Amino acid sequence: MGVFSFLSFQQSLLWITFSPIGPQTQLYYNCSEGAVNLLLAWGPIAYIPTVFIVCYTLGDAVGVRRSVLFGAGLVLLGGTVRLLASIDPKSNWALYVVSLSQIFNAIAGPIVMAAPPKLSAIWFSPDERTIATSISASANNLGTALGFILGTYLEQTIGIFWFLVFEGALSVLAALCIFVYFPASPPTPPSPSAMASLDEKFSLLDYWEDIKSMASAPSFLLLVLVGGWQQGIFAAWQGLFAYILKGYDSLLIGWIGTANVFAGWIGSILAGVFMDKVFNHQFKEALVFLFLAGSGFLILFTLSFPSFISPLPLVHSDEWLVILTLTVIGFLFGCAYPLFYEFAVELTYPTREASSASLFSLSNNIACLIALEAGGSIPATWINGIVSGSVIICFGLLLLVKSEYKRSRKDATADQETTSLTNSGTNIN
């Protein structure tokens, strides 16, 4: 799980590379603001046509290993190929090379985003699964968080070229870690559902059955819509901080973005611990609370800037209040991130974990792409209000999701049967 998390971290770090240093990237490659935004948009653009192939390859344990190895190779290419553009960064072909490297990295996105629930199911017991999913899924968010400050700081200290060399070296290291050690499964299955997952062989017919099963689960489809839209629009929103916070120092914007996403990473880890150890997997109740609280802070943040409601801020705020508000927002919705994955698995079991995770992350990327494309034509004063309104709508839809915990019920029933057989054997002796 550690080496996979490092790979996921690096994939996200490469994805966000140019967004925190948008104006500097324009000067380095002699390109437009739209071209810089496209480098970010390649993530969801490449994700959408490849996610279904990845979903199929993640169907069984052997497929997971092969997919992750392939993903490591793509991240390696994504971090190194773009260095060729620095031979002549202002030439007509340089931006095409950088785009190609971003596409390589983007194709690895479905693997690192859809695999966490499957890896957790194979490697961890029921009371550790949410924690494991939280760590591996939130590693991707951590890459985004550090990307904000690393990009800004290193560009100012060593320049864009050496910053890209640094990220390329990290890509090589992440790929080597996967190539050296990434086994398909543990020696002993940690749960009955894990044993069933390891024993199964995944075919195209099984894949089709999974799709039909998910399509006939209204609560799952609603959860995918809510979670995918919220997570996707947030990813785009974070990538546009440099434009939303115009007038702020670029290094400060980097720190604000880092605080927002890093708080989300901390929230993801803590959510996994509390859901496994304290709240007994009450995913819907936790998500409702997080969305309610998060909506309040989003409205506060929106009113702290000029908006479509008023050309002047309705709430007086200084830099520290902006940082605090965005940090709390990041924490609350970071807590929600792994809960969506695990709740989706519970709603659709015995559908394979990778199938539900792939559909959720597909929704995420479609929303991200729509938001990125719309962000270029929407005035900066409207963006925060649109994000706030979207989250409020998602909160209302979340209330309609029906709570079902099918996988947990199967594991609990199997444990009871095992205990009963053990007790029966003891009594006979």
Range of the domain at 220: 2-181+202-414
Q: Is residue 352 part of a domain?
A: yes
Is residue 278 pLDDT above 70, yes or no? Answer: no
The CATH number of the domain where 269 resides is what?
A: 1.20.1250.20
Q: How far apart are the first and last CA of the chain?
A: 42
- Sign, CA dihedral 156-160-166-171, equals positive
Q: Is residue 94 part of a domain?
A: yes
Q: Is residue 191 part of a domain?
A: no
Q: Is residue 14 part of a domain?
A: yes
Whether omega for the bond prior to residue 20 falls within 30 degrees of 0, making it cis, is no
Q: Using only C-alpha atoms, what is the Rg of the chain?
A: 22
- For the segment 248-259, the average pLDDT, to the nearest whole number, is 78
Pair of tokens at residue 330: 């990041």
Is residue 75 pLDDT above 90, yes or no? Answer: yes
Q: What's the pLDDT tens digit per position in 203-246?
A: 667 767 777 888 888 888 898 888 888 877 887 787 677 777 77
Q: Is residue 87 part of a domain?
A: yes
Q: Is residue 187 part of a domain?
A: no
Considering its fold, how many domains does the chain have in total?
1
Q: ∠ at Cα 121 (119, 127), nearest 5°?
A: 120
Say whether 110 sits in a helix, a strand or coil.
Answer: helix
Q: Is residue 422 part of a domain?
A: no
- Are 391 and 302 within 8 A, CB to CB? no
Q: Report which of residues 200 and 339 the model is more confident about.
A: 339
pLDDT at 135 (0 to 100)? 81
Question: Would you call 213 exposed, middle or buried from its count of C-beta atoms within 10 A (0-12, 13-18, 19+)?
Answer: middle
Pair of tokens at residue 200: 């199964």
Q: Is residue 420 part of a domain?
A: no
- State the pTM of this model: 0.71
Pair of tokens at residue 246: 């115009």
Nearest Cα neighbor of 104 from 131, 66, 82, 77 is: 77
Query: What share of the chain in percent tops pLDDT 90?
Result: 18
